[in-house]
Amino acid sequence: MPEGHSVHRIARQFERNFVGHPIAVSSPQGRFAEGAAEIDGLEMRRAMAVGKQMFLEFDGGAWLRVHLGLYGAWDFAGEILVDPTIASANGRMGQTNQRGTDPIYDDAGENSLASIGAPRRARAHVRMSEQTRGLSDDGDEWPPPVVGQVRARLMTAVTCADLRGPTACAVESVEQVEAVLDRLGPDPLVGDPAENEERFVSAVRRRGVAIGQLLMDQSVVSGIGNVYRAEMLFRANLDPHTPGRLVPTDTVRQLWHDWSRLLAIGVDTGQMMTMDDLSVDEWRAAMASRDDRHWVYHRAGLPCRVCGTEIVLEEMQARKLYWCPTCQR
Partner DNA sequence: AAAACATGCAAAG
Partner DNA sequence: TTTGCCTGTTTTC
- Rounded to whole angstroms, the maximal C-alpha distance in the chain is 58
Q: From CA 78, how far away is CA 160, in angstroms rounded?
A: 6
Q: Does 31 interact with DNA (rule: CB under 7 A)?
A: yes
Q: Does 308 interact with DNA (rule: CB under 7 A)?
A: no
Annotated catalytic residue 320 = no
User: Rounded to the nearest 10 degrees, how much is the dihedral formed by the CA atoms of 14, 18, 24, 28?
Assistant: -30
Nearer to DNA, 19 or 313 (CB): 313
Nearer to DNA, 58 or 297 (CB): 297
Q: Could you say which of 52, 65, 153, 164 is catalytic?
A: 52
Nearer to DNA, 19 or 316 (CB): 316
- Preceding omega of 119 cis (within 30 degrees of 0): no
| Binding range to DNA, per CB under 7 A, among 2-10, 15-23, 42-50, 273-281 | 2-10
The distance of closest approach from Cβ of residue 167 to DNA in the complex, given in angstroms and rounded to an integer, is 4
Identify the residue among 100, 109, 117, 325 touching DNA (CB under 7 A).
100
Q: How many residues contact DNA, by CB under 7 A?
A: 38
Catalytic residue positions, numbered? 2-3, 52, 319
Question: What residue ranges bind DNA (CB under 7 A)?
Answer: 1-3, 6, 29, 31, 51-52, 67, 69-71, 73, 100-101, 127, 129-132, 148-149, 151, 164-165, 167-168, 170, 180, 216, 218, 225-227, 272, 291, 319-320
